[in-house]
Structure 1
Amino acid sequence: MQPTIGRIVHYTLNDTDANLIQQRRTTDGTIANTTSEGQTYPATVVRTFGGEAANLQVHLDGPDTYWATSRTPGEGPGHWAWPARV
């Protein structure tokens, strides 16, 4: 199934993502929980490219978000996945 705009997926932070988020929070004074590689957050698909790659707005555990660009589905850090059905 291909991503479509507005769908919610789960995105797992990679080390670069986590470091960029922490640097930005330090710079702008955002108070929030620490991020690290391997943490998974809900994300909204904001743009697709006709395949499985998508730009995501990641909803962090705090008052901010993170823009993850051109991410593909898969397992592990740096990838998004469909939420499990329960």
Structure 2
Amino acid sequence: MTQQPSTGRIVHYTLSDTDALRINARRTDGPAIQERLLDNTWPVGAQAHIGNKAAAGDVLPAMVVAVQPNGQINAQVFLDGNDVLWVTSRDEASEESGSHPGRWQWPQR
């Protein structure tokens, strides 16, 4: 019997080029934050996204937050940092081809 995704399950998600660009574009680091604080250009209440550089092909854990009738999922991808990436309408990678950027797969046992 084939596993079916359900809300709350953990899967592995492979970052695409676009995913990595989105993640890295919104991240900052301590020196940049300090510089903006000193210049009074850091927005009041802003949240800093800090973490290691993301790259296309990185495989990360993701929690399924919604399953669509066509089998696609929406998920929160846990990044190597203090932030997450919300991905929507993502397909499962085929078993023959292994991981595919922008797709999810079941963790190996």
The match for 2:107 is 83
TM-score, normalising length: structure 1: 0.91
Q: Secondary structure at the match of 1:52?
A: coil
Q: How many residues align?
A: 85
The match for 2:79 is 60
Q: CA deviation at 1:29?
A: 4.0
Paired with 1:42 and 1:71, the residues of 2 have a C-alpha distance of: 14
Pick aligned residue for 2:53 from 31, 34, 37: 34
Q: Which runs of 5+ in 2 are unaligned?
A: 29-46, 94-98
Computing the radius of gyration over CA atoms, which structure comes out larger, 1 or 2?
2
Q: Is the 8 A contact 2:66 2:75 kept in 1?
A: yes
Question: Which amino acid in the other structure matches residue 65 of structure 1?
Answer: V
Paired with 2:71 and 2:85, the residues of 1 have a C-alpha distance of: 19
The match for 1:12 is 14
Sequence identity of aligned pairs in percent? 50
Paired with 1:71 and 1:3, the residues of 2 have a C-alpha distance of: 12
Q: Is the 8 A contact 2:50 2:83 kept in 1?
A: no
Q: CA deviation at 1:25?
A: 1.3
